[in-house]
Structure 1
Amino acid sequence: MKRIIAILLATTALTACSLKPEPITPAQHFQRAKDDYQELYANYLPVTKALTLEEAVARALKYNYDNQLARVETSLQERQLDLALSQMLPRLAADAGYNWRSNNGSSQSISELTRQQSLDYSYSQERQHTTADLQFSWSMLDLGVSYFQARQQGYRALVAVERRRKVINTLVKETRGAYWKAVSAQRLLPKLEPILATAEKALNASRKVQEDALQPPLQALEYQQSMLQVISQLKRIRTDLMSAKAQLAALINVPPTDPLPLAALDGDAKAPSPVEVAIAKLEEIGLAMRPELREEAYQEQIDRQAVYKEIVKMMPGVTLMASLNQDSNKYLYRDTWAEAGVRVSYNLVNLIQGPQAIDAAEAAVAVAKTRRLAVSVAVLTQVNLAYQQYLRSIETLETAIDVNTVQRQITKTVDNANVASAQSDMERIRRFLSATAAELERDRALSDVHQSLGNLYAAVGIDLVPPTVDTNDFGQLVGQVGDAIHDWEAGRMPLPDFSTEAPPADAVGSETGRPVS
């Protein structure tokens, strides 16, 4: 016996020591980083041709890890819903055991009337025997609580769908903006480098003239000041343009070292057709479709189920029990038997705690409703701002196109041999800078229009693609995205139909299609 106790104590001590976690070593961190880097780009499709807008958006939906995270979180909520539903089932437990003692459990019997021993010492149980039973129990109180917990988990699965909608809308909006900036960068960067080199060459020449005293100092310094301002502007433009492709590559999960050719920008590109929907209608759609508001609506339902759950907890607990039993003890007359019963219990403390818990749950419902109304105000503001920015961006693009057209005419006029020969290096650089700035402003304005259109759709809550879109078939995904973008740019906003009958409140959304209860 002492040896057994010593073994148990040693095992306990070893177990306690093994619970202390060991820190991850720097070598393990480095190996993890290498493995993660390889996994990041293990399954992506290389860019082998000029990337179009619909392909860029499709790549973002398929390969961006923010979207993948939202998808697996939705899947996690679905599995937790399955677990919550299984917790509503009754308890059915199988039990088996082996019993041993070192001697017989002998006992005597004393008469209740005479207080005299009525039997010799005797026993009715073997020193070793086995038992087995199959027990069934079902608590009606646990069933009620589990029912409302399952409903809460069902609404959480719906919340995960809305959060994925928000991720997709944000991803589409950011990809559109980054794509148009990257296209502009691809077209303008090759033109910036030669003029920047010319400007730096002219600056160095002016400094050489000043050192040789071939020009009045003030005139040389003013020339250098103007040239430095030009160089500074050119470098700022270059920095802004060079970061555009890196941002796009990050959104569509393309390695930074891989080439990223983009489809050429049409020199006479026009703005998308105006969205012919009244602002009042856009506000209504925004209040109905925005993922944040839908999430808050589901959160209110989650909190409401908590009220029902607290009410159920105040009820008496009724438990149904049944079992099948077997015992190998040979002294038993019947070694198998069945039992059944009903047990009723009530926690009297719930008379005090129950009303308080119900009040707290109802207060949570009121908070959720107030929070949804506060978010509604923010949504209305965002819809109006997005709509006004969209209209202003169209006007800005029209002006930028006119300015660019005039600037190209000026450049064409002064590019003849007589005028060009009469121009100084500074004048030529300034004219090129003006032409480049006009072209860049046109491209930026076009990018702003597309980005503001995406902002408008995101503010209203209109999805480019549904959260259930199949990202495995990349070709089909590109076609679906392309059709949606074509409708967007044609001014055809896909207005949802609110006249159809709404789905039942206890149904999980289109992502899961599973009932809550």
Structure 2
Amino acid sequence: MRQGKLIQIFTLSATVMALAGCGTITPSPLTQDELNQTNRTDKSMASSAVEPIDGPLTLDEAMARALKYNLDRRTRLMEEALSMNQLEMAEFDALPKLVAQAGYTARDKERATYSSQYTPNQVVSSFQTSSYSSERNHGTADLGLTWSLLDASVGYYGGKQQAERVLIAAEKRRKAMHVLMQDVRTAYWRAASAQQLRSQVQQTIANAESALADSRKVEAERVRNPMDALRYQRQLLENLRLLESIEQELASAQVDLAALVNAPLGQPITIAETSLALSEDSMLTLPIQRLEDFALENNADLREQHYNSRIARQEVQKTMARMFPNLNFNYGFKYDADQYLVHNNWNEAGLQLSFNLFNILTAPTQTKLAEAGVKLADQRRVASQMAVITQLHLARLQLINARKQFLRADSVYETDVRIASLVRSRANAQAQSKLDEVANDTAAILSLLRRYQALAQVNVAENRLIANLGLEPRLGSTDALKLKELTQQISMNNRQPWAPLLSGAEKP
């Protein structure tokens, strides 16, 4: 009786505690100390193992730093690693299950039963005896092995699907790398133009402000016609507005580049002196059919759709596997501490065949749904193929046009530089007004900016075409390679970016 009372008290206490716990859960917002600690930790993690920029930054090193240290790229690599781990876990789904259990059973009263003698066709009105054959308190343990044919079949196809998802993660990483390299090229040339133009823009703004002050002084003294002075100031103000817009446009270039290469924000980055010249255009002479075939073989988006189609077909097979009867086998070692048992430990085996009869009704619908998924995946692949071919033609045309625009911008810049030099010489000889000097200096600055922008557009168009063709640097592990080694590999690739295409290689 005492033990029964203890069991009742324990059960009642556990129930009260559970109900009390359910009623006291309240939202717990982050404290300021927790936020500060987390922010400090995250900031430390973001900059950990990042080599400082010691000298002028080249385009090759900027791309290497982005591939090695960029935070978004690190996320992509972790996603790919997670897919690999999920594949390893999926491989265990087809294995048998080995389960170990242990328990303890307690009763406040014995499990007693009445018994009577059995007599055919006769109703017994009273029980003969009462007895019990188990202890009130006893422990149990068992170790069981279970294997299901249905679970093994579904796990097999699920593992194959997860293997395709690993390949999809790799294609997404390739696509993210192309986008990252394109962004680095754009930000690098913006930063280069900002570095080149900063002093010229500031000097020209100072000259324009000085000329504007002189003009207002002349206007106040009424030495010249007020209308002429106002027109003169109006032109100076237009030039100032143009110069200030250029300065504002270039102001964020360093921040964008620093974010891409994971450099400290606010720390100035010196851009290396780089030749403003076009790369070779041998790939533009290739037949467009050759480019289409290469893109259809290697484009990351299209390859991803191929893998999705394979996943959809494996889903049909997995659906069919679920409709078959399930064969379940189990084998276990049992133990029970009950002293009334003759054998306290024994082995137990079983074989069970089961079938869900409703599968007969739902099989057509399930099959139809899975086949519809295959058709949808195939349609997406066809649409992606047409999109890849369209993007290829557009990227090729954009590269041709960008190269023409750069050559034109280069010619305009050379002409504006010569004009600005002549006007500056005449202004020094007091044969030309400050307005003309400021206007021509502004035009020369704008021409140089457009020259950099045109070269950046050439790089962007090249990178877009490279991404569409599925070309990328042949690199080792960015984690294993040192920054210097990675920079050298990217430099070699940038000198011959079209080598796999020109050599007839099928896969970069």
- When normalised by structure 2's length, the TM-score is 0.91
SS in 2 for 1:450: helix
Distance in 2 of aligned mates of 1:235 and 1:418? 23
Give 1:505's aligned residue.
Answer: none
Aligned to 2:64, the other structure's residue is in SS state: helix
Counterpart in 2 of 1:82? 88
Match of 1:124 in 2: 133
Cα deviation, residue 301, structure 1: 1.4
Match of 2:64 in 1: 58
Shift of 1:368: 1.2
Does the 8 A contact of 1:61 with 1:471 survive in 2? no
1:8 equivalent among 14, 27, 41: 14
Distance 1:19 1:472 in 2: 49
Partners of 1:101 and 1:5 in 2: how far apart? 12
Query: CA 1:231/1:486 → structure 2, altered by over 3 Å: closer, same or farther?
Result: same
Q: Which residue of 2 aligns with 1:246?
A: 255
Match 1:271 to one of 265, 278, 284: 278
Q: Where in structure 2 are the equivalents of 1:380-459 lying within 5 Å?
A: 380-416=389-425, 420-459=429-468
* Equivalent in the alignment of 2:244: 235
Spell out, residue by residue over 1:137-195, the C-alpha distance to the aligned partner (whole angstroms, 9 max, x if none): 11111111111111111111111111111111100111012112211211111111011
1:44 to 42, 47, 50: 50
Structure 1 residue identity aligned to 2:333: L
Shift, 1:239, TM fit: 1.5
Query: d(CA) in 1 for partners of 2:378 and 2:417?
Result: 57
Q: Are positions 1:111 and 2:106 aligned together?
A: no
What's the secondary structure of 2:366's corresponding residue? helix
One-letter code of the match for 1:80?
Q
Structure 1 counterpart of 2:358: 349
Q: Which moved more, 1:37-46 or 1:342-351?
A: 37-46
Confirm or deny that 1:289 pairs with 2:298: yes
Range moving further from structure 2, 468-477 or 210-219: 468-477
Distance apart, 1:298 and its partner CA: 1.1
The DSSP-based 3-state class of the residue aligned with 2:133 is coil
Going from structure 1 to structure 2, the CA distance change for 1:420 and 1:384 (only over 3 Å counts) comes to farther
What is the distance in 1 between the residues matched to 2:259 and 2:503? 32
Instruction: For 1:465 and 1:172, locate their aligned partners in 2 and report how far apart those are by CA, in whole Å.
Output: 14
In 1, are the aligned partners of 2:102 and 2:140 still within 8 Å (CA)?
Answer: yes
**Residue ranges of structure 2 left out of the alignment (5+ in a row):** none
Q: Give the secondary structure class of the aligned counterpart of 1:122.
A: strand
Determine whether 1:460 maps to 2:466: no
Aligned equivalent of 2:167, options 124, 134, 158: 158
Partner in structure 1 of residue 271 of structure 2: 262
Q: 2: CA distance between counterparts of 1:51 and 1:418? A: 38
Contact 2:117–2:128 (CA<8 Å) still a contact in 1? no
Structure 1 residue 275, shift from structure 2 partner: 3.4
Secondary structure of the corresponding residue to residue 93 of structure 1:
strand
In the TM superposition, residue 37 of structure 1 has moved relative to its aligned partner by: 3.3
**Letter in structure 2 aligned against 1:52:** T
In structure 2, the partner of 1:142 is: 151
Residue identity matched to 2:363: G
Total equivalences in the alignment: 497
> Does the 8 A contact of 2:294 with 2:506 survive in 1?
no
Match of residue 492, structure 1, among 499, 504, 507: 499
Contact 2:142 2:333 in 1 (8 A): yes
CA distance 1:222–1:499, change in 2 (3 Å): closer
For the residue of structure 1 that corresponds to 2:100, the secondary structure is strand
Counterpart of 1:483? 492
Q: Which amino acid aligns with 2:483?
A: F
Question: Taking structure 1 as reference, are residues 18 and 88 closer, same or farther at Cα in structure 2, changes over 3 Å only?
Answer: farther
How much has 1:75 moved relative to structure 2?
A: 1.2
In the alignment, the residues of structure 1 paired with residue 48 and residue 410 of structure 2 have an alpha-carbon distance, to the nearest angstrom, of 43
Q: Identity across aligned pairs (percent)?
A: 32
Structure 1 residue matching 2:252: 3-state secondary structure: helix
Match of 1:367 in 2: 376
Query: Cα distance 1:280–1:18, how it changes in 2: closer, same or farther (>3 A)?
Result: farther
Q: 1:99 aligns with which of 105, 116, 128?
A: 105
Distance in 2 of aligned mates of 1:371 and 1:463? 25
CA displacement at 1:85 relative to structure 2: 1.3
Q: Quick one: structure 1 residues 204 and 417, their matched pair in 2 at CA, closer, same or farther if it must change by over 3 Å?
A: closer
Q: Measured at CA, do residues 492 and 152 of structure 1 come closer, stay the same or move farther in structure 2, by a change above 3 Å?
A: closer
Cα 1:20–1:51 shift into 2, 3 Å: same
User: What displacement does 1:421 show?
Assistant: 2.2
1:17-53 per-position Cα deviation (integer Å, ceiling 9, x unaligned): 4554323345544553344334332432111100111
Question: Aligned to 1:87, what secondary structure does the other structure show?
Answer: helix
- Of stretches 48-57 and 416-425 in structure 1, the one that deviates more from structure 2 is 416-425
8 Å contact from structure 1 (residues 168, 467) kept in 2: no
Give the letter for the 2:95 counterpart.
L
How far apart are the structure 2 equivalents of 1:133 and 1:24?
Answer: 45
Name the stretch that deviates more: 67-76 or 93-102.
Answer: 93-102
Give, in whole Å, the separation in 2 of the partners of 1:307 and 1:226.
72
How far did 1:67 drift?
0.3
Q: Distance in 2 between matches of 1:301 and 1:18?
A: 50
Counterpart of 1:223 in structure 2 is: 232
Q: Displacement of 1:109 after TM fit?
A: 2.8
C-alpha deviation, 1:271, in angstroms:
0.4
Q: Counterpart of 2:471 in 1: which secondary structure?
A: coil
Alignment check: 8 A CA contact 1:165 1:467 kept: no
In structure 1, distance between residues paired with 2:316 and 2:254: 52
Q: What CA distance in whole angstroms lies between the structure 2 residues aligned with 1:473 and 1:323?
A: 54
Q: Is the 8 A contact 1:173 1:458 kept in 2?
A: no
Structure 1 distance, partners of 2:502, 2:173, is 20
Distance in 2 (alpha carbons) for counterparts of 1:354 and 1:165:
39
Structure 2 Cα separation of the partners of residues 21 and 85 of structure 1: 39
**1:318 Cα shift?**
1.0
- The answer as to whether partners of 1:414 and 1:420 remain within 8 angstroms in 2 is no
Q: Structure 1: any 5+ residue segments left out of the alignment?
A: 501-509, 511-517
Are residues 127 and 31 of structure 1, via their aligned partners in 2, closer, same or farther at CA, if it must alter by over 3 Å?
closer
The alpha-carbon deviation at position 498 of structure 1 amounts to 6.7
Q: Which amino acid aligns with 1:228?
A: L
Between the aligned partners of 2:135 and 2:444, the Cα distance in structure 1 is 105
What SS does structure 1 have at the residue aligned with 2:112?
A: coil
After TM superposition, the score normalised by the length of structure 1 is 0.90
Contact kept, 8 Å, 1:325 with 1:337, in 2: the verdict is: yes
